[in-house]
Amino acid sequence: MREVDVVGVRVEMPSSQPIVLLKEVSGERYLPIWIGAAEASAIAFAQQGMEPPRPLTHDLFAEAIRVLGHTLSQVRIVNLTDGVFEAILVFDDKTELSARPSDSIALALRTGTPVFCAEEILAEAGIPVPESETGADEVEEEEEVERFREFLDQVTPEDFDKS
């Protein structure tokens, strides 16, 4: 398993399909996952630190975990079959719960939980995007977002169909 960061959410044009982009922490591969609009909003809200006037579903689930005396220890993206990703929520007591990656990522952002991805998935669906020559530490967040936009302007869902 490789740890990944959530780079951001964007709407892929012309299909208007939201995408969440993950990047491996110790590497140069990016993993785009097409997601639903509601989950895209939930991820974007969490990344921006926005709190809605009433809790969203992911906020409710995070609070339920806390009130029940547990913590979410890991989110794992574990499978990719016919273009559909699968994730597992791993709790502090080692309980595992199958979930969609989009819901898992939204929950991870709310709880400060690390996200991991199976090496096989990164090998199959990851897109290498080399860092700039100045080095990863000097790359500004705005530059990374711009590279993400450029990447999304060129990629289509068919690019990931390995069948």
Tens place of pLDDT for every residue, the chain, 163 residues? Answer: 999 999 989 887 777 789 999 999 998 899 999 998 889 988 998 988 888 788 888 999 999 999 999 999 999 999 999 989 999 999 999 999 999 999 999 999 999 999 999 999 999 999 988 765 445 555 555 666 666 666 666 666 665 555 4
CA distances from 42 to 12, 27, 52, 64 (A): 17, 27, 10, 17
| Extended beta strands in 35-93, E state | 72-81, 84-91
Around Cβ 146, how many Cβ atoms within 10 Å? 11
CA 33 to chain centre: 7
pTM of the model: 0.78
How far apart are alpha carbons 8 and 44 in whole angstroms?
7
Residues 6 or more apart from 133 whose CB is under 8 A from it? none
